Structure 1
Amino acid sequence: MKFGGIQRTSTIDFPKKLSCVVFTLGCDLDCFYCHNRELIENGEEISQKDIKLFLEKRKGLLEGVVVSGGEATLQKDLLGFFKYLKKLGYATKLDSNGQNIEIIKKLVESKVVDYFAIDLKATEDKYINVCGKNANYKKTSETINYLLENNCDFEVRTTLYPGITKNDLVSIAKNFGTLPLWRFNYFHMPETFKKEDLKRLRGKALIKYDMIKIKKDLIEFQKNIEI
């Protein structure tokens, strides 16, 4: 496991649990609005020993651990790390872009992840434009449908990046059965970004006022929405 950061306490990243978030290095996507670019470009590695020492000290104080990124499913010993967390007694959550369904399946079958958050970035026709040449909407869609079919505890998250529209969101909503939760993240200008993306980043992004008006159109297809 290659770690690039840790948020020592969080009340919002794991539903109903006081948790910490550990961030892994590296990602297979290149989203133009990425808020964790330092984790995929020249990120400094934190030793696994230091991460484990922290987790062992906080055992009994924290309820859960969120493994995020970057993209954690790229880590070779992800399954082993989740087994380690369960041995410590932690509830576990994985944040993922859903591109690596075989890894997700292994985690589900091993029953080491209690909750998943899958980032669904855009409509199928815009996925590569938003997330880079390696992005594959069908892979993420397959992961979401797998979690639905296996009655897993999970949520889908979509960041309201500059340029995403009401029609995009309605199109996404139509493509799935009833999701247990669809959560929207409001866009904030990232500290680090590519110069060629500056114009896009300065574009109009949907805000809460917009989402309140749009919600009635989305609920027709997805009733479990958090704006």
Structure 2
Amino acid sequence: MRLAGLQKLTLLDYPGKTAATVFTPGCNFRCPFCHNAELVQGAAPAAGSDESEGGNNEETPYGANAQRGADEGRGADAQCPEDDERNAGAECAGSTSESHLSKQPFPTVSEEEFFSFLDKRQGLLDGICITGGEPLLQPDIEAFCAEIKRRGFAVKLDTNGSLPDRLRALVDDGLVDYVAMDAKNSPARYAETIGVPAFDLSSVEASVAYLLSGAVPYEFRTTIVREYHDEMGLTDLARWIKGADAWYLQAFVDSDTVLAGEGSLSGYAPDELEALVAAVRPIVPTARIRGV
């Protein structure tokens, strides 16, 4: 299992639980607003490319400028086993093939280090959040989750939903207790939003339908970027995920690690974001703002 960082404590990532967050590398989406440019621009090909097999979440700590928590309501990231915490924000994804794992240099954490840390946190932490990148691209994600569960910790999985079979298998095997899935945009603008032309949305549609079935506790989340999201598009997205248990709209925060380049994209002001949430609440009453 390839691990790219560890946040030793989060009170935000796992609803209702004290948790740690572990990061996995690799992404085959190219969301322009992703804060993990140094990860995304590594060796991993984009979904739909000749090298890509998967259709592939939210939402990392791949270097000193890692950004993630602002997109996901996260308070701080530690870049390795050290307690280096910082505000952050990101959205990335991956695919199932090991060839899709980024080979870009970034801090790593060994499984031995990670599980040694967990053993020292028995009775202090309730759960572990597995995020990325796209964790489901990792070929040994099942064994990794099983080892966490064996130690008595609950598991939260962050995903972009492009690998529904792997998601279902983890849930069916009792290896995941909570899922946070990125709902990037309305179907009409999905390919544009994830930076993958002609993206086949069927895999994401399958994951949405699976979560809406109530198989596992879950949330949807959408990072709102002015250049990609408006009231009409968010209303279409709301109709798609109607009945969602929870939907968090997260404010985009610019930084020098954004894939499109700093200054290329912009977020909405808090009052504008409130208006967008008000517009979709008649369809998804559970919609709320996170990260403002």
**Aligned residue in 2 for 1:158:** 222
Which aligned pairs between 1:9-20 and structure 2 lie closer than 5 A?
Answer: 9-20=9-20
What do residues 73-92 of structure 1 show as CA deviations (whole Å, max 9, x unaligned)? Answer: 00011111111111111011
Whether 2:160 is the aligned partner of 1:93: answer no
Equivalent of residue 143 in structure 2, options 72, 80, 84: 80
Conserved? CA contact 1:115–1:154, under 8 Å:
yes
Asked if 2 retains the 8 angstrom alpha-carbon contact of 1:155 and 1:181, the reply is yes
- The counterpart of 1:212, out of the listed 274, 284, 292, is 274
Secondary structure at the aligned position of 1:7 is classed as strand
Offset of residue 202 of structure 1:
3.4
Residue 51 of structure 1: aligned partner: 114
Distance 1:190 1:168, change over 3 A: same
Match of 1:189 in 2: 254
- What is the SS of the residue equivalent to 1:53? helix
SS at match of 1:94: strand
Unaligned runs of 5+ in 1: none
CA distance in 2, matches of 1:64, 1:191: 31
The match for 1:149 is 213
Using CA pairs under 8 Å that are at least 6 residues apart, name the structure with larger relative contact order, 1 or 2: 2
Match of 2:23 in 1: 23
Q: Which moved more, 1:115-124 or 1:184-193?
A: 184-193
Classify 1:160/1:110 alpha carbon distance in 2 versus 1 (closer, same or farther; 3 Å): same
Q: Which residue of 2 aligns with 1:172?
A: 237
2:188 is aligned with 1:116: no
Q: Which has the higher strand share?
A: 1
Supply the AA of the counterpart residue of 2:24: T
What is the alpha-carbon distance in structure 2 between the residues aligned to residue 185 and residue 76 of structure 1?
30
Aligned to 2:68: none
Across the aligned residues of Structure 1 and Structure 2, the Cα RMSD in angstroms comes to 1.8
Question: Cα distance 1:104–1:210, how it changes in 2: closer, same or farther (>3 A)?
Answer: same
- 1:207–1:141 Cα change, 3 Å: farther
CA distance in 2, matches of 1:156, 1:80: 25
Q: 1:225 — aligned with what?
A: 287
TM-score after normalising by structure 2: 0.72
The size of the alignment, in residue pairs, is 224
SS in 2 for 1:15: coil
Matched residue SS, 1:113: coil
- Aligned partner of 2:6: which letter? I
Which one is further off, 114-123 or 133-142?
A: 133-142
Provide TM-score, normalisation by structure 1: 0.92
**Partners of 1:28 and 1:215 in 2: how far apart?**
29
> What is the DSSP-based 3-state SS (H/G/I as helix, E as strand, rest coil) of the residue aligned with 1:21?
strand
Deviates more, 1:100-109 or 1:51-60: 51-60
Contact 2:127 2:153 in 1 (8 A): yes
Aligned-residue offset at 1:198: 3.2
SS in 2 for 1:3: coil
Greater per-residue helix proportion: 1
Alpha-carbon distance between aligned partners in 1 of 2:134 and 2:20, rounded to the nearest angstrom:
17
Could you tell me how far 1:51 is from its partner in structure 2? Answer: 1.4
> Hey, what's the Cα distance between the residues in 2 that align with 1:184 and 1:20?
23
Q: Match for 2:203 among 135, 139, 143? A: 139
Distance 1:210 1:101 in 2: 33
Partner of 1:65: 128
- Which residue, out of 127, 139, 147, partners 2:190? 127
Contact 2:30 2:195 in 1 (8 A): yes
